[in-house]
Structure 1
Amino acid sequence: MDDEVRGYLAELVDRARGVLGDDLVGAYAAGSVGLDAYQPGRSDVDVALVVARTLTGPVKRALVDRLRHEALPCPARGLELVVYRRDVAAAGTSGPGFEVELNTGATMPFRVTYAPADRPVADGHFWYALDRSILHQSGRALVGPPAAEVFADLAPGDLRRLLAEALAWWLALPTPPGDGPAPGAEDAVLGACRSLVKVRDGRWLSKVDAGRRLRERGEHADLIGRSIAARHGGPPPSGPEARDFQRQVLAEVAAIH
Structure 2
Amino acid sequence: MAVTARAHHRVVGYARQVATVLRTLSGTDLVGLYLHGSAVLGGFSPAHSDVDLLAVVARPAGEAGQYRTGTAVGRTIDRCPGRGLELTVVTAATARSLGACPFEVRVAGSPDGSPHVIPGTGHPGDPDLVLHAEVCRRYGLAVAGPPPDRIFAPVPAGRLREAICRQLEWALVQGAQGPAVLNACRALRFLAEGSLCAKVEAGRWYLSKSPHHPLVAEALVLHQSGDRRELSGAGARFVAEARDLLLAADG
**TM superposition score normalised by structure 2:** 0.87
Other structure's SS at 1:102 match = strand
Aligned CA RMSD, in angstroms, stands at 2.3
Residues 171-186 of structure 1 mapped to structure 2, 5 A cutoff: 171-173=172-174, 184-186=176-178
Structure 1 residues 57 and 117, CA, compared in 2 at 3 Å: closer, same or farther? closer
Structure 1 residues 42 and 116, CA, compared in 2 at 3 Å: closer, same or farther? farther
Q: In 2, Cα distance between the equivalents of 1:41 and 1:33?
A: 13
1:31 aligns with 2:24: no
Q: In 2, Cα distance between the equivalents of 1:69 and 1:248?
A: 42
**TM-aligned CA deviation for residue 126 of structure 1:** 2.6
**TM-aligned CA deviation for residue 72 of structure 1:** 5.1
Structure 1 residues 192 and 23, CA, compared in 2 at 3 Å: closer, same or farther? same
Paired-residue identity, %: 28
Residues 1-257 of structure 1 mapped to structure 2, 5 A cutoff: 1-69=7-75, 73-91=79-97, 93=98, 95-106=100-111, 110-115=115-120, 117-118=122-123, 125-173=126-174, 184-218=176-210, 221-233=213-225, 239-257=232-250
**TM superposition score normalised by structure 1:** 0.86
Gaps of 5+ in 2: 1-6
**TM-aligned CA deviation for residue 133 of structure 1:** 1.3
Instruction: Determine if contact 1:68/1:105 at 8 Å carries over to the other structure.
Output: no
Structure 1 residues 211 and 107, CA, compared in 2 at 3 Å: closer, same or farther? farther
Q: In 1, Cα distance between the equivalents of 2:79 and 2:242?
A: 38
Q: Give the AA of the match of 2:54.
A: A
**TM-aligned CA deviation for residue 64 of structure 1:** 1.5
**TM-aligned CA deviation for residue 36 of structure 1:** 3.1
Q: In 2, Cα distance between the equivalents of 1:86 and 1:208?
A: 31
Moved more, 106-115 or 199-208: 106-115
Instruction: Determine if contact 1:95/1:128 at 8 Å carries over to the other structure.
Output: no
1:179 aligned partner: none
Gaps of 5+ in 1: 176-183
Other structure's SS at 1:59 match = helix
Q: Give the AA of the match of 1:218.
A: S
Q: Give the AA of the match of 1:113.
A: I
Deviation per CA, 1:91-129, whole angstroms, max 9, x where unpaired?
A: 1x353221111112235674222127436x9xxx43111
Instruction: Determine if contact 2:78/2:112 at 8 Å carries over to the other structure.
Output: no
Q: In 2, Cα distance between the equivalents of 1:109 and 1:225?
A: 35
Instruction: Determine if contact 2:42/2:201 at 8 Å carries over to the other structure.
Output: no
Q: Give the AA of the match of 1:143.
A: A
Structure 1 residues 220 and 113, CA, compared in 2 at 3 Å: closer, same or farther? farther
Q: Give the AA of the match of 1:213.
A: W
Structure 1 residues 71 and 209, CA, compared in 2 at 3 Å: closer, same or farther? closer
Structure 1 residues 221 and 94, CA, compared in 2 at 3 Å: closer, same or farther? farther
Q: Give the AA of the match of 1:145.
A: P
